[in-house]
A and B are shown apart, each in its own frame.
Chain A
Amino acid sequence: MSAEPAAPGPAGAGLAGVRPEPGVAKPDPILVVDGVARYFGGLRAVDVDHLEVQRGTITSLIGPNGAGKSTFFNLVTGFDKPNQGRWTFEGQQLAGVPAYRIARRGMVRTFQLTKTLGRLTTIENVKLGATGQRGEHFLPAIFRPSWAHQEREIEARADELLERFNLAHMRNEFAGTMSGGQRKLLEMARALMVHPRLLMLDEPMAGVNPALTQSLLGHITALRDDGMTIILVEHDMDVVMGVSDWVACFAEGRLIAEGTPRDIRANKAVIDAYLGSSRALPEETAPVDPAQPDEVEDTP
Chain B
Amino acid sequence: MEKVEEKFEPKIAAFVCNWCTYTGADLAGTSRLKQQTNARLIRVPCTGRIDPVFIIKAFENGADGVLVSGCHPGDCHYNAGNFHARRRWIFFKELLDFVGIDSSRLHFSWVSASEGKKWVDVVDGVINSVREKGPFTQYKKINREFEIPLETESKL
A and B co-occur in one complex: no
Interfacial residues, chain A to chain B (CB-CB below 8 A):
none
